Structure 1
Amino acid sequence: MLPDKLTASDDVPTLDVAIQEAIEWEVALRAGDVSSDERARFENWRLADPSHDAAWAKLQARLKKFSALEGASSAAVRRAVDEPSHTRRRLLKIGAGVATGVLAGVGTKELIKAFALDADLHNGDAAPENVALDDGVRLTLGASTRVYVPAKGPQGDIFVASGQIATGARAEASSLIAVRTRDGMVQTSTAKLSVDALRTHTVVAVQGGDAILTDRNGGRVKAIDGTAWSLSSHRIQRMPETSSDIFAWTTGTLVVLDRAVPDVVETLGRYFKGYVRFPSAALSRRVSGVFPLDDIEASLRQLAEGLGLSLSFYGKALAIAT
């Protein structure tokens, strides 16, 4: 029998998304060419939730301790990628020191929580990794995936902090598996699951059986075999892809239908490993396509060209679409 409400184990930290967003706004606002519209978006973000304002205030208080950060700006990074190679290396080295200061300023505890650095399972490679848990659950971990396995939780209970997993056959087919993300939970005793913890929502695909999806507010939906769903903290919505489309990542292909561009950029970025930047106007659009995950630079170019953009690579660390 499925539980009526989501439960949180003490072993699984709550990811502080507000801290991550505050860091990103700090970087963006330090640029010398910030528009009034972008500043208005920042104010809207800060006032939209008390946790946003608190995260921003906390970050600013910590950054004040680092005098080396004074005068640093994201414009310096943009200058660096336009300079000759020997000058670029010097500037990026300086930029790396500034970045280290920012991270130190946020605090070790916050970083561990925000980026799940203490996760029980972590795949740092581009190739999927297959693992078997003590209770018989078999998992495939995608690139940059971090998973917690609560010691005090029931068997088959895991938390996907970031990245994408697929569940396989179980030693006991009748036993329940519950996969949770910050957006909610999916439970099944029969189906294979693909669970992708994206920044704005979780994508769930169900194959070989049915499952129950539950959001953070207690809303529930029965997901039938072959379907794909978007699970957010307050909404569960059917997606146009089939479960076969979603599961294609396990064999090296990303398939999306009418998907928001930030979803695709985030997913491809896990395999690129460096920093990927697309202009704000492109991030409001939606795309469909098939992207090979074993040639990530080609996939990023494919995405950019489909949006009418050009893409420049600066080594393996930076990809900028314009």
Structure 2
Amino acid sequence: MAPVGRIRHATLQQAAQWYVALQEADCPAALHEQWQRWLAQHSEHQAAWHYVAGVGERFAPLREQAASTGQVLRQARMPGLTRRQGAKALALLGVGSLLGMTGWRVAGQAGWTADIATGVGTRRQVRLDDGSQLWLGPRTAVDTRFDGYARELDLRFGEVLLQASAGDGRPLRISTECGVVQVASGMARLGVQQRQGHTRLNVYQGQASVSTARDRLRQPVLAGQAIDFTATGLAAPTAAQAAGESWTWGMLAADAMPLSELVDTLGRYRHGYLGYAPVIADLTVMGTFPLDDTEQALRLLEAALPVRVRRLTDWWVSVEPA
């Protein structure tokens, strides 16, 4: 399945409208022929169709519930679509875009088979076998492998905060698709976030080191420092961000945070699509935002920056220039 980020929004919307139209029991043969011509026009159409169809198969019950609200019926502009079909298309596309922001794997088997996992808007705290405490943010999946020689955490996707136990001499490592975080012996408190091809490490207590997955670059990270890395590269260490642990209290402490990052974070705490206009992605956000009340967080964002929150439906919300 093609990454949804490579498919234009307009193409996804067309695919969603076609998908809904073809589900009707009385769908005429002529409409099938029109859909087939549209599908053959471009490989992007085919990628969009496969993506939307996959969402439809996996989330049919949720999609039907969303469609029942009947909001934003005027959005369906394809000739022949009923008002009910238009609502379904927007609801479906909202769910699909949400998944695209965080990766298809969140809803797939990778999340279902993890040792520990969370869903949308869910935080979880667990005590590990060595006495360490692990907090999982929303849409997070972690595997644990503890034996007589080492303690291994595999962060498949999402965000965790780890309070490591000091009384265990076995090596403690957190692996992501980008590399490995080696936690130094002794007390340590650190946050690790895996998002779309890059990992962020915040160290609040103790120290750790990072080794990239592909080039094996290595960098120590001390208490009070943070670092971003990919499979092939390391950024320079910066100051640890309060946001890397404030989410465990239900708050997002934004200190010169890009608006894009704040909106992406809020999106993990609500169902449906929450996006932003690219032109405002780099606006700097300061303040504290409640994660368990994303509507209040969006109101605070409107008050703090020259932006407006546009709500097409309960499932489709975007932050745009004021």
2: CA distance, partners of 1:245 / 1:109: 24
The alpha-carbon deviation at position 259 of structure 1 amounts to 3.0
The alpha-carbon deviation at position 95 of structure 1 amounts to 5.0
Counterpart for residue 142 of structure 1: 137
Counterpart for residue 245 of structure 2: 247
Structure 1 residues 149 and 315 mapped into 2: Cα distance closer, same or farther (>3 Å)? Answer: farther
Query: Does the CA contact (< 8 Å) of 2:149 and 2:170 recur in 1?
Result: no
1: CA distance, partners of 2:310 / 2:148: 46
**Matches of residues 202-213 of structure 1 in structure 2 within 5 Å?**
202-213=199-210
Structure 1 residues 285 and 182 mapped into 2: Cα distance closer, same or farther (>3 Å)? Answer: farther
Of 184, 208, 215 in structure 1, the residue corresponding to residue 212 of structure 2 is 215
Counterpart for residue 169 of structure 2: 174
**Matches of residues 115-264 of structure 1 in structure 2 within 5 Å?**
116-124=111-119, 126-150=121-145, 155-170=150-165, 172-188=167-183, 189-190=185-186, 191-216=188-213, 217-238=215-236, 240-242=238-240, 244-264=242-262
1: CA distance, partners of 2:116 / 2:219: 29
2: CA distance, partners of 1:317 / 1:239: 38
Structure 1 length as normaliser, TM-score?
A: 0.66
The alpha-carbon deviation at position 253 of structure 1 amounts to 1.9
The alpha-carbon deviation at position 266 of structure 1 amounts to 1.5
Query: Does the CA contact (< 8 Å) of 2:114 and 2:143 recur in 1?
Result: yes
Query: Does the CA contact (< 8 Å) of 2:172 and 2:182 recur in 1?
Result: yes
Query: Does the CA contact (< 8 Å) of 2:270 and 2:294 recur in 1?
Result: yes
Percent sequence identity over aligned pairs: 25
Structure 1 residues 109 and 264 mapped into 2: Cα distance closer, same or farther (>3 Å)? Answer: closer
Query: Does the CA contact (< 8 Å) of 2:241 and 2:255 recur in 1?
Result: no
Q: Could you list the runs of 5+ residues in structure 2 that have no partner in the other structure?
A: 15-42, 57-66, 76-81
1:149-194 per-residue CA deviation (whole Å, 9 max, x = no partner) reads: 3589964211212221111242734332211222222111331211
Structure 1 residues 227 and 57 mapped into 2: Cα distance closer, same or farther (>3 Å)? Answer: same
The alpha-carbon deviation at position 272 of structure 1 amounts to 1.9
Of 272, 275, 294 in structure 1, the residue corresponding to residue 273 of structure 2 is 275
Counterpart for residue 295 of structure 2: 297
The alpha-carbon deviation at position 276 of structure 1 amounts to 0.5
Does the residue aligned with 2:108 lie in a helix, a strand or coil? helix
Q: Could you list the runs of 5+ residues in structure 1 that have no partner in the other structure?
A: 1-18, 34-55, 70-76
Structure 1 residues 151 and 223 mapped into 2: Cα distance closer, same or farther (>3 Å)? Answer: closer
Aligned-partner residue type, residue 195 of structure 2: L
Aligned-partner residue type, residue 72 of structure 2: V
Does the residue aligned with 2:72 lie in a helix, a strand or coil? helix
Paired positions, count: 264
Query: Does the CA contact (< 8 Å) of 1:145 and 1:161 recur in 2?
Result: yes
1:262-314 per-residue CA deviation (whole Å, 9 max, x = no partner) reads: 32222111112321121121224443432221321222333355442210335
The alpha-carbon deviation at position 109 of structure 1 amounts to 9.4
Structure 1 residues 178 and 101 mapped into 2: Cα distance closer, same or farther (>3 Å)? Answer: closer
Aligned-partner residue type, residue 195 of structure 1: V
The alpha-carbon deviation at position 198 of structure 1 amounts to 2.1
Instruction: Give the RMSD, CA atoms, in angstroms.
Output: 4.2
Query: Does the CA contact (< 8 Å) of 2:12 and 2:48 recur in 1?
Result: no
Query: Does the CA contact (< 8 Å) of 1:272 and 1:316 recur in 2?
Result: no
The alpha-carbon deviation at position 116 of structure 1 amounts to 3.3
Aligned-partner residue type, residue 262 of structure 1: S
Counterpart for residue 25 of structure 1: 6
Query: Does the CA contact (< 8 Å) of 1:210 and 1:223 recur in 2?
Result: yes
Structure 1 residues 306 and 151 mapped into 2: Cα distance closer, same or farther (>3 Å)? Answer: same
Query: Does the CA contact (< 8 Å) of 2:133 and 2:164 recur in 1?
Result: yes
1: CA distance, partners of 2:253 / 2:92: 38
Higher alpha-carbon Rg: 2
Query: Does the CA contact (< 8 Å) of 2:177 and 2:231 recur in 1?
Result: yes
1:231-260 per-residue CA deviation (whole Å, 9 max, x = no partner) reads: 222332346543545222211222233333
Counterpart for residue 81 of structure 1: 72
